[in-house]
């Protein structure tokens, strides 16, 4: 009986985590790029096309706001000419206070495809 309760609890928490992972998205929309990530943000944000000045691999010494949530692989930096206000999620404490930033770091699953789509949508892509 104890194992059944433990198994049910594990399945519930595991399913909940997997559900949150499936809700992570970095999507091109006509107005720009939308970032939906319940692990990093309290609510989705739009990075408006008119304010995106650069998309590309993040430099090692960047000071951009990290929204990659510890993901591995190529981290992509999106630079903006006007600040965007967003509310990051901070660990177990929950939602933090709103911050304004002009650069964010994201970790697309397929960064090469992401950068190619950005170029097709006439966003400023720099690969160096």
**Count: domains in the chain:** 1
Question: Residue 40: which domain range?
Answer: 24-120
Q: What average pLDDT does the chain have?
A: 85
Q: How far apart are the first and last CA of the chain?
A: 58
Domain membership flag for residue 53: yes
Question: Residues 98-114: what's their mean pLDDT?
Answer: 93
Of 37, 53, 56, the closest CA to residue 102 belongs to: 53
pLDDT at 92 (0 to 100): 66
pLDDT tens digits, one per residue of 45-83: 999 999 999 999 999 999 999 998 888 889 999 999 999
Domain membership flag for residue 1: no
pLDDT of residue 34 exceeding 70, the answer is yes
pTM of the model: 0.79
Domain membership flag for residue 126: no
pLDDT at 76 (0 to 100): 95
């Amino acid at each position: 009986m104890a194992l059944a309760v433990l198994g049910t609890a594990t399945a519930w928490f595991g399913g909940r985590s997997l559900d949150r992972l499936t809700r992570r998205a970095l999507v091109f929309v006509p107005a720009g790029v939308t970032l939906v990530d319940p692990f990093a943000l309290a609510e989705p944000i739009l990075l408006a096309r008119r304010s995106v000045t650069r998309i590309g691999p993040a430099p090692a010494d960047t000071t951009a706001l990290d929204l990659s949530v510890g993901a591995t692989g190529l981290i992509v930096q999106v630079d903006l000419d006007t600040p965007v206000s967003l509310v990051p999620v901070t660990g177990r404490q929950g939602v933090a206070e709103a911050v304004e930033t002009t650069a964010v770091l994201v970790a697309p699953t397929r960064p090469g495809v992401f950068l190619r789509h950005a170029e097709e949508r006439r966003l400023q892509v720099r690969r160096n």
